[in-house]
Amino acid sequence: NTARKFNPETDVKVKFEDVAGLGEAKEEVMEFVKFLKNPKKYEDLGAKIPRGAILSGPPGTGKTLIAKATAGEAGVPFYSCSGSDFYQMFVGVGASKVRDLFKMARENAPCIVFVDEIDAIGKSRSSGGARGNDERESTLNQLLVEMDGFTASDHIVVLAGTNRVDVLDSALMRPGRFDRHIQIDKPELEGRKEIFNVHLKKLTLSPTIDKDLSGRLSTLTPGFSGADIANVCNEAALTAARMEAEFVELVHFELAIERVIGGIEKKSKVLN
């Protein structure tokens, strides 16, 4: 039963305030929020609302988070899946899963459908190896058919995440499909500070800790993604617990940063 895979998250708690930085991206998705909250206004004006957006950027930069926050702000269900979920051995299975997904989305509209790793099915049709190509094409075609089939009264927004926007089939970007492209980059110093501020809120910090802790930590973490920063904060708390400390102290963050750098280095070794 493939339908079970697409259980939506109905009471999405994530809001824009949980997403640090990414001001431009938030502004872009705000239009979807407004549309989902009040589609009639757009219909009355005869406006064709964009159907979807591609969120592209390196891993862990908050693509899924901002998609989810869009659902949270609009107060609509969030259907999340990954392009690789559709990738099957047998031709036709992926396409029928896409059909199931959109059938459910239509029944539960207004809603947001998020397809992570869209490149797994949306690679340019001329690229890629032979094996599995038919299956990928039929899955991609079904996705295009579904998006083309939206009528003005289908209040569904499709967001897709990828770190390989360069390989995507240009058919995906045509008007009425993913007509918006939102680029999300790794955070700079100020962005990292803001992300630290979001994640530090969850910790029990030492009362004597550096007043500008997030500023200090942001200078120690060049090249870190938002996911790396969330990881540092959690690691710091775990380290404090391991050391039987009452509060999280600067030293716990320093140890956590070293650990996370170790993890990042290992990952990049595997990739290279």
Among 163, 197, 206, 234, binds ligand ATP (CB under 6 A): 163
Beta strands in the chain (DSSP E): 52-56, 78-82, 111-116, 156-162, 180-183
Percentages of the chain per state (helix, strand, coil), in multiples of 5: 55, 10, 35
Q: Which region holds residue 156: left if phi is over 0, alpha if psi is between -120 and 50, else beta?
A: beta
Closer to ligand ATP at the Cβ: 137 or 235?
235
Name the minimum Å distance from CB 161 to ligand ATP. Answer: 5
Among 198, 236, 248, 260, binds ligand ATP (CB under 6 A): 198
In terms of residues, how long is the chain?
272
Q: Does 22 bind ligand ATP (CB under 6 A)?
A: yes
Q: Does 234 bind ligand ATP (CB under 6 A)?
A: no
Name the minimum Å distance from CB 162 to ligand ATP. Answer: 8
Name the minimum Å distance from CB 59 to ligand ATP. Answer: 4
Return the residue matching tokens 């009639």: 40
Q: Does 264 bind ligand ATP (CB under 6 A)?
A: no
Q: What angle do CA 240, 19, 160 make, to 5 degrees?
A: 120
Q: Does 168 bind ligand ATP (CB under 6 A)?
A: no
Alpha-carbon gap, residue 11 to 233, rounded angstroms: 26
Q: Does 227 bind ligand ATP (CB under 6 A)?
A: yes
Alpha-carbon gap, residue 79 to 204, rounded angstroms: 33
Closer to ligand ATP at the Cβ: 79 or 150?
79
Contact predicate 69/226, CB 8 Å? no
Alpha-carbon gap, residue 14 to 255, rounded angstroms: 29
x-marked contacts with ligand ATP along 99-138 as a string, rule CB under 6 A: -----------------x----------------------
Closer to ligand ATP at the Cβ: 116 or 137?
116
Among 21, 39, 77, 110, binds ligand ATP (CB under 6 A): 21
Alpha-carbon gap, residue 75 to 110, rounded angstroms: 9
Closer to ligand ATP at the Cβ: 110 or 226?
226
x-marked contacts with ligand ATP along 34-73 as a string, rule CB under 6 A: -------------------------xxxxxxx--------
Token pair in block for residue 11? 């009471």
